[in-house]
Amino acid sequence: MKQYLLPVMILAIFGTLAVVLWQAMDNLFYLFNFLYIGISIALGIFLFLRNYKHARRITQLLVGLYMLIYLGLASGENMQIEGFWYYLFTGVFEAATIHYAVAKIFGPLLFGRGWCGYACWTAMALDFLPYKVPAAPRKRLGWIRYLTFAASFLFVAALFLAQAGNIERIMFWAFIIGNVLYYASGILLAFAFQDNRAFCKYICPITVFLKPMSYFSLLRVTCDKSKCVSCGKCKRICPMDVDMTDNSRNRKNGTECILCFECARNCPKDAL
């Protein structure tokens, strides 16, 4: 039973967050929202512990579709990075800012880039593409993320400086157009580089937050050197080119790990 402690703990953390935010914000939405996400993640971990092959994908679809369709399209909540800047500028501590604080800024100190492995609706679609294992070594294109990050900030800043009318409506359309662009460029890059996660590696602006914070992540894959036989299988199948056999924080592409645990699942010696 001890192995099921982790899903129970996840459920307890999200349950507490749900109740605290519900009471603090006097809004029942937070109770439903964080309970739903907590249950989805706990279910995924539970299924993973039961060795179910598609456990991660189930959580990714449950959370990703909920955020994209219910929060984004039906409720008109811009959960993209533009939405974060927007709420930050207006000084409103609401859905998008809370979402960023929990999933992408402070949460990664605890669970690294778990968001990227289990919840992101962009990667949810990209992970259906055929290049789960990158066909070629990583390119030196990571600098592009700083351009997209700056562009998202400047776009929202310009709207405020120009005192644009009906910014709420513009943000809704920015969410739609932004997602179409993300999906289109993500799919194109995946085929061009034969790598499903090329968009995550080179373009995604959110990694500007995610990477430095996940450097300190409590939850991380480590290698038991006494078991490892240096067969290299783990590194060959890693979608993010991480050197998970190096236990140091400075390991190669360490802040790219999305905690998919494919390496651990495939290690013939249970060393990870």
Interacting residues with ligand SF4 (CB under 6 A): 116, 120, 122-123, 199-200, 204, 206-207, 221, 223, 228-234, 238-240, 242, 244-245, 257-263, 267, 269, 271-272
**Residue 171 CB, nearest distance to ligand SF4 (Å)?**
19
* Integer Cα distance of 63 and 61 in angstroms: 6
If the CB atoms of residues 7 and 108 are measured against ligand SF4, the closer one turns out to be 108
**Residue 78 CB, nearest distance to ligand SF4 (Å)?**
15
If the CB atoms of residues 31 and 79 are measured against ligand SF4, the closer one turns out to be 79
Find the DSSP H helices in 142-214.
144-161, 167-193, 198-202, 207-214
If the CB atoms of residues 39 and 269 are measured against ligand SF4, the closer one turns out to be 269
* Integer Cα distance of 92 and 87 in angstroms: 5
**Residue 210 CB, nearest distance to ligand SF4 (Å)?**
6
Residue type, 226: S
If the CB atoms of residues 45 and 238 are measured against ligand SF4, the closer one turns out to be 238
Give 83-91's long-range contacts (Cβ < 8 A, gap of 24+).
83/171, 83/174, 83/175, 85/152, 85/153, 85/156, 85/157, 86/156, 86/159, 86/167, 86/171, 89/156, 89/157, 89/160
Note whether 254 and 242 are within 8 A (CB). Answer: yes
If the CB atoms of residues 17 and 67 are measured against ligand SF4, the closer one turns out to be 67
* Integer Cα distance of 221 and 256 in angstroms: 12
If the CB atoms of residues 21 and 126 are measured against ligand SF4, the closer one turns out to be 126
Find the DSSP H helices in the chain.
5-25, 28-49, 55-65, 81-90, 95-99, 108-111, 114-118, 121-126, 144-161, 167-193, 198-202, 207-214, 233-237, 262-266
Q: Work out the number of other CB atoms within 10 angstroms of the CB of residue 54.
A: 12
Token pair of 103, please? 């999933």
**Residue 141 CB, nearest distance to ligand SF4 (Å)?**
14
If the CB atoms of residues 31 and 45 are measured against ligand SF4, the closer one turns out to be 45
